[in-house]
């Protein structure tokens, strides 16, 4: 992973965005904002699923009034999503929002934008310039013929200049596109052009699983390059799925601490002595109910399992009629096959309570030797399905020129 670009840091309510702040997760409510109770319920659900910031539409006066009731009761900062009517941005500021999102494609008058910027500056509220390929300024569409990456960046930079003209610099920017390569290129160009924090997303990604794949492809590619300060998965799904996906992506990239179960499992092979898919399904349900922030590995055999998954906090590898429970690659217990999942859950609880060193110290002294014996027996019975010895011999022959 490339070193992350240090951008100008802004403050969205209690959440810092940019600079050296953690990459944050955002999502957006789908309720009618005027329905205060339903919207608040969704905000709380999103916060519980890992959203650091929530965006809420402000598309009419009733919505702005709803925001005035929602904001004092929200567990996370709220950004008002504004389109077309600049006065609704002023109304949202009056309601007390923590941030604004303005679309340069449909709020086009410079005077209106500057009025909003002045009001936001008075309240210390940041503005996201939210450029979207689907609503790009008509002049730029005529110039470029289509919403190419440079057109999106030109739109964002022009809006930045309008805000900077009135001394407003509490800015973050997005240049979202539904085409993943275009989205990635747009953000690369923008990152070179400005030092403001960037909000990443593939717009209109669609429903899972395709929408998840598009979002991961675009967002992860940029984060791995060191580009991006806050993210949103724009899925045709319940918003909670967006927040969960965003949080999990950051955890997998090492950009946020693990907050829940991280389950890794082998794809199975001819050595497997159990139905790996069935065991994984059972274990996942049981472990998710425990809500433990640990990495768990489930491997189909003991030949390579503990070694391949040695970085996992805890795991189990199936032998013939038994399971070999391991912690950080060290086998600590051998249990009957029927008890593999229950033993794994029990040991995971103890690991969370007591820590790795304590559980390793309490290990069964003969467990590792039993695991070695089982692995040897399995290889003798099944053979080397990977043909490693045969391939090693051929490699040596090539190296020697035999």
| pLDDT at residue 165, as a whole number | 95
The verdict on 168 and 311 lying in the same domain is no
Decide if pLDDT at 367 tops 80. no
CATH of the domain at 173: 3.20.20.20
Whether residue 293 sits in one domain with residue 180 = no
Compute the mean pLDDT over every residue in the chain, rounded to the nearest whole number. 90
Band of pLDDT at residue 380, cut at 50, 70 and 90:
low
Q: Do 267 and 201 share a domain, yes or no?
A: no
| Residue pLDDT, tens place only, 85-138 | 999 999 999 999 999 999 998 998 999 999 999 999 999 999 999 999 999 988
Q: Which residues does 89 contact at the CB level (< 8 Å), separation at least 6?
A: 58, 80, 82, 100, 102, 107, 116, 119, 120
Residue 257, in any domain of the structure? no
The reply to whether 122 and 168 lie within a common domain is yes
Residue 398 in any domain: the answer is no
Q: In sequence order, which residues have a C-beta less than 8 Å from that of residue 152 and are 6 or more positions away?
A: 131, 133, 136, 175, 177, 186, 190
Are 41 and 142 within one domain?
yes
Separation of alpha carbons 93 and 98, rounded Å: 8
What total number of domains does the chain contain?
Answer: 2
What integer pLDDT is reported at residue 369 of this predicted model? 55
- As a whole number of angstroms, the distance between CA 145 and CA 325 comes to 61
Higher pLDDT, 220 or 332: 220
396, pLDDT greater than 80: no
Whether 2 has a pLDDT exceeding 60, the answer reads: yes
Q: What would you measure as the largest C-alpha separation in the chain, in angstroms? A: 83
Structure confidence by residue, pLDDT tens digits, 220-269: 999 999 999 999 999 999 999 999 999 999 999 999 988 888 888 887 77
Q: Is the pLDDT of residue 77 over 80?
A: yes
Rounded to the nearest 10 degrees, what angle do helices 210-224 and 180-193 cross at?
A: 30
Whether 388 is covered by a domain: the verdict is no
From CA 318, how far away is CA 325, in angstroms rounded?
Answer: 9
Whether 165 is covered by a domain: the verdict is yes
Statement to judge: residues 247 and 282 lie in one domain:
no
Residue 46 lies in a domain: yes
Which residues span the domain enclosing 228?
10-252
pLDDT at 305 over 90: no
At residue 235, the pLDDT reads 96
pLDDT at residue 375 tops 80? no
Q: Of all residues in the chain, what percent carry a pLDDT higher than 70? A: 90
User: Residue 385: pLDDT above 60?
Assistant: no
């Amino acid at each position: 992973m490339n070193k992350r670009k240090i951008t100008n840091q802004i403050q969205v309510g209690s959440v810092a965005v940019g600079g050296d702040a953690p990459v944050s997760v955002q999502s957006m409510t789908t309720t009618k904002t005027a329905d205060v109770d339903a919207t608040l319920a969704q905000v709380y659900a999103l916060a519980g699923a890992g959203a650091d910031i929530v965006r809420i539409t402000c598309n009419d006066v009733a919505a702005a009034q709803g925001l005035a009731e929602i904001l004092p009761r929200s567990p996370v900062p709220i950004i008002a999503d504004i389109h077309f009517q600049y006065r609704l941005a002023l109304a949202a500021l009056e309601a007390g929002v923590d941030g604004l999102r303005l679309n340069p494609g449909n709020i086009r008058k410079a005077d209106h934008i500057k009025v909003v910027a002045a009001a936001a500056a008075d309240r210390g509220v940041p503005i996201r310039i939210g450029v979207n390929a689907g609503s790009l300024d008509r002049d730029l569409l005529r110039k470029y013929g289509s919403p190419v990456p440079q057109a999106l960046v030109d739109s964002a930079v022009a809006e930045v200049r309008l805000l900077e003209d009135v001394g407003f610099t509490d800015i973050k920017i997005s240049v979202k596109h539904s085409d993943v390569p275009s989205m990635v290129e747009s953000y690369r160009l923008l990152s070179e052009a400005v030092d403001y924090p960037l909000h990443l997303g593939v717009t209109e990604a669609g429903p899972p699983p395709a929408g998840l794949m598009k979002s991961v492809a675009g967002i992860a590619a940029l984060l791995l390059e060191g580009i991006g300060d806050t993210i949103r998965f724009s899925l045709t799904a319940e918003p909670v799925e967006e927040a969960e996906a965003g949080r999990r992506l950051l955890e997998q990239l090492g950009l946020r601490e693990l907050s829940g179960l991280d389950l890794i499992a082998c794809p199975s092979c001819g050595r497997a002595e159990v139905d790996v898919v069935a065991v994984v399904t059972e274990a996942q349900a049981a472990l998710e109910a425990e809500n433990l922030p640990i990495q768990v590995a489930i491997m189909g055999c003991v030949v390579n399992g503990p070694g391949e998954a040695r970085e996992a906090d805890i795991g189990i590898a199936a032998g013939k009629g038994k399971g070999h429970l391991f912690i950080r690659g060290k086998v600590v217990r051998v249990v009957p096959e029927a008890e593999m999942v229950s033993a794994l859950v029990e040991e995971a609880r103890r690991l969370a309570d007591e820590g790795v060193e304590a559980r390793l110290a309490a290990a069964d002294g003969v467990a590792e030797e039993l695991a070695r014996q089982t692995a040897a027996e399995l290889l003798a019975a099944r053979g080397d399905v990977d043909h490693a010895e045969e391939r090693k011999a051929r490699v040596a022959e090539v190296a020697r020129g035999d």
